Amino acid sequence: MSARVAVLLSGRGSNFLNLHAAMERGEVPGTIALVISNVAEAPGLARARQLGLPALALPYGESPTREAHDSRMRAAIAAAGAEWVCLAGYMRLLTPGFVAACGQRVLNIHPSLLPSFPGLHAQRQALAAGVRVSGCTVHFVDAGLDSGPIVAQRAVPVLDSDDEDSLAARILEAEHAAYPAALARLLAGGWWIAGRRVHFPGPGA
Ligand code: GAR
């Protein structure tokens, strides 16, 4: 069964493009049903249009409240028939109402090994803390900041020579491997969440 996935993004959109490519190659059993951005001029949104994918700009300023914005978003996602929502560089917190309505079907990717370094500038935070390993996390979205149950993590080394850009580039490579793999694993089904732990079927999982 192929899942219909909505992607929310605010910028470049490399994680969106990478998910789309993985779907096209048959590595993730899904299709991109809709791309939504809160930033009308986001390059990711332009790429979605070039690819002929349904793409929608929903700037925050057009809605009186965050709740009103997120209900517009929810209506568009429902109209597109999307069952899953993947945040890909979506730099706004979702409202509790949105998260509750979508249930355990909203994923995010974050450029750190959560729960370390949530929020903005995760790579800068990692460098400032002097950690020797960082990476990325795919997690379910709850109403908190980068705080839902963890689906997958990949680690990368932090080198003495790193600046924010070089670390971000190394982490991004890990993101591009982790996100499609995590989504494919969830779409295969059979998983459950106990406490904060996401359990997968199969030995050693
Ligand atoms: C990615 O590094 C993603 O992990 C990060 O924004 C970047 C988006 O890049 N997301 C967050 O920091 C969310 N808290 P992209 O637009 O090329 O996918």
pLDDT at position 118 over 70: yes
Where residue 172 sits, what CATH number does that domain have? Answer: 3.40.50.170
pLDDT per residue as tens digits for the range 41-100: 999 999 999 999 999 999 989 999 999 999 999 999 999 999 999 999 999 999 999 999
Catalytic residue chosen out of the listed positions 20, 69, 110, 139: 110
Residue 197 lies in a domain: no
Q: Which of these, 53, 41, 34, lies nearest to 10 by C-alpha position? A: 41
Q: Which residues line ligand 1 (CB under 6 A)?
A: 9, 11-15, 44, 88-89, 109-111, 122, 146, 172, 175
Q: Which domain holds residue 180?
A: 3-190
Catalytic site includes residue 199: no
Domain count, the chain: 1
Q: Is the dihedral of CA 90, 92, 98, 103 positive or negative?
A: positive
C-alpha–C-alpha distance, residues 205 and 203, integer Å: 6
> Global pTM?
0.97
Residue nearest atom 1 in ligand 1 by C-alpha distance:
89
Q: What percent of the chain has pLDDT over 70?
A: 99
Ligand 1 atom index nearest CA of 14: 17
Domain assignment of residue 203, yes or no: no
pLDDT, tens digit (0-9, with 9 covering 90-100), for 178-194 = 999 999 999 999 999 99
**For atom 16 of ligand 1, which residue has the closest CA?**
13
* 199 in any annotated domain: no
Distance of CA 204 to the CA centre of its chain: 26
What confidence score (pLDDT) does residue 171 get? 98
